[in-house]
Amino acid sequence: MTPQVTAHAAGGPLRDLASVLRPRGVGRQVARTAGYNVASAAAAGLGGIIVARVLGPEMRGEYAAVTAWFSVALMIGGMGQPAALCFHVAHDPGNARSYVATSRAMMLVTGTAALTAGVLLAPLLARGNAGLTVAYRIAFATSIVAFVGASYTFSLQARNLRWWNEVRVSQPVLSLAFMVVLWRLRLLTLSAALIVLALTMLLQLGWAYYRCRSAGLVPGHAQARLVRPLARYGSAQIAALTPAALNAGLDQLVLSQAVPPAVLGRYAIAVSCTLLPIPMVSAIGNVAFPRLASRHRVDGLARRMQWLGILGSACAAAGALVPLDLVAPWLIPHVFGTGYAGVVPLLWILTPAGVFMACNQVTGDVLRGRKRPLVVARAEGLAAVFTVVLLVALLPVAGVYGAAIASTVAYGVAMVVMLLSLRGLPSGSSGGRHRKRPG
């Protein structure tokens, strides 16, 4: 991640920073990735605004419930393989094709199981609503496309960051284009919005495969000997993702069964607003993860860069969310409609959660790049315990505001644990030896 530090470059932190950013192009890659992240989030956000205005608070709440459970299916079926694949393709490039083929085969098996379970559970999740049952089944049917697509998309993160960014942004941009067309034709419904999700994910899969062929990542053959390292890293990652998903989505999953859809719709909008800084700050982790994974030593300069990135993520998140809080009483009703005025107090409670989440995003990627996904798992696991306990304690007395408080506290706990763990890592630790074998 960092070049050797010359005597001239060691004169101060600014010179250290320049010595890292210029020769390796780290600053340019972070800026470009942030641009793609912002474009992706803007497209997704505009699509969400269209859905909110056309469907109204009640159906927007149903849409939030379906996509929340869809995210759970993706997490379970993915087996933590997106991060595992990125790490191993970067760490062992000689076997990149075999890693991609093996990971894809693994995700097809578990993805099919997750898909079957989701389709069977759809009537229960919809609580007997026939139209909502169809919506759930459309979403769960999409998951198999997402599993296969992830095997191509995240191998690109380790091989060609620009192509990875292009593939990632293609889905939300295409989705927005289809949403606008359906909106203008007055054909946008809950089921139509989910069909658009399925179609654009399929197109993204095709684009990812094309780019992988150009990058030399396919075709390849699955190898039994690679299942263990992929599964081991993936298991640690899923151990982190499961409580992280609880922290990110348990509040909405519980609210989907405990409050009217309109209330959940407003809460989902507030959560979406707190995610605004994530596209910018996550670019730091997106670039750092494969760079750290490809190295066998992390020197003092790299450690300082890690802390600068984390501090920068906190400042960027606060700089985006605090001004938003100030204009929210005027902005939210004008953008989403008068039915969403109740979003404002929820947004104020969730703002610290947005700052904590930004720090966690970058810190988690740094730890994963240093082959410490279990540290992330422990932090998120402890935070999940706080989420559950606080939801049980606060939801009956404070309702949707209690869910917002629970999320904020949980993200703060995860941040503290990860920062303390990162601080304790030895300077030379990177997570293993670099290996190159023909594959």
How far apart CA 156 and CA 136 sit, in angstroms, is 30
How far apart CA 154 and CA 202 sit, in angstroms, is 16
The encoded tokens of residue 277 equal 């800084």
| CB environment 210-245: b (16+ within 10 A), e (fewer) | ebbeebebbebeeeeebeebbbebbbbbbbbbbbbb
User: Tell me, what's the pLDDT at 10?
Assistant: 38
Nearest partner of 415 among 389, 388, 385, 383, judged by Cα:
383
Name the pTM for this structure.
0.63
Q: Are 288 and 298 in contact (CB under 8 A)?
A: no
How far apart CA 386 and CA 370 sit, in angstroms, is 27
Mean pLDDT per 10-residue interval, the chain, length 439 residues: 36 42 60 82 83 77 80 76 83 86 85 80 83 86 85 86 89 91 87 90 92 88 87 76 66 70 78 80 76 66 71 85 87 78 85 88 82 81 86 83 88 90 67 41
How far apart CA 374 and CA 356 sit, in angstroms, is 19
